[in-house]
Chains A and B, each alone.
Chain A
């Protein structure tokens, strides 16, 4: 069955460094992949989308890559700040449905000052 895994439940990095979060999926080839940010006690907020025919997407300090051979997406935050501390979720469209998304369990990022 289809599975989405995010590399670790928690990641701590120093301010100013680049944070790299990983999303791996199995048994499926999604048409696109999305990344969301979630702050404690709040709903997730959309950040970026990358399509299967795109290798890389950038938005300000964020960069997402999508390797359909490795079945992996990497999410980078450059020049990280304490305000970037949050849980980051990856999501993709499951087989046979263009309407719903399946989410990974998330990686909690803490940027230390």
Chain B
């Protein structure tokens, strides 16, 4: 059974803390993505990576960074968490190639106090 696994389902952090969200996929996909999802705003792309050590900014990269040291793992980093980063974070992966479907993890709900 193919899988995208996110390390934490629920996190509560304080303003200013550094936050790591980890994502692992077992499908040998080249492309990995981090989205955030907020009511009424839908899914918005933060960053994506098309290869190891490669990354590209999505629509809302401010306040975030990413790391991809291994093909199967893609980490999202909040250097100094703020309350407006309270959200549901979704990791996804897909093969390179035309029209491939996205496989999503279960999501990480982050609350920043």
Chain A interface (Cβ within 8 Å of chain B)? Answer: 9, 31-32, 34, 36, 41-46, 49, 51, 89, 91, 93, 98-106
Contacts and interface: CB of A to CB of B under 8 A. Distances in A.
Q: Say which size band chain B's interface belongs to.
A: 20 to 34
B102 interface: yes
B25 interface: no
Contact of A106 (B42, B45, B92, B105): B42
Nearest to A106: B42
Contact of B31 (A44, A99, A102): A99
Given A31-B99, A49-B99, A98-B98, A103 B43 contact: yes
Given A9-B40, A89-B43, A99 B48 contact: yes
Given A32-B99, A99-B31, A100-B33, A43 B104 contact: yes
B26 to A, nearest CB: 15
A100 B104 contact: no
A51 B92 CA distance: 22
Contacts of A31: 98-99
Given A31-B99, A41-B109, A43-B105, 6 more contacts: A9-B40, A45-B104, A98-B98, A100-B31, A100-B45, A103-B43
18 contacts: A32-B98, A34-B102, A41-B107, A43-B105, A43-B106, A44-B90, A44-B104, A46-B101, A46-B103, A49-B99, A49-B101, A51-B99, A99-B31, A99-B96, A101-B102, A102-B45, A103-B35, A103-B43
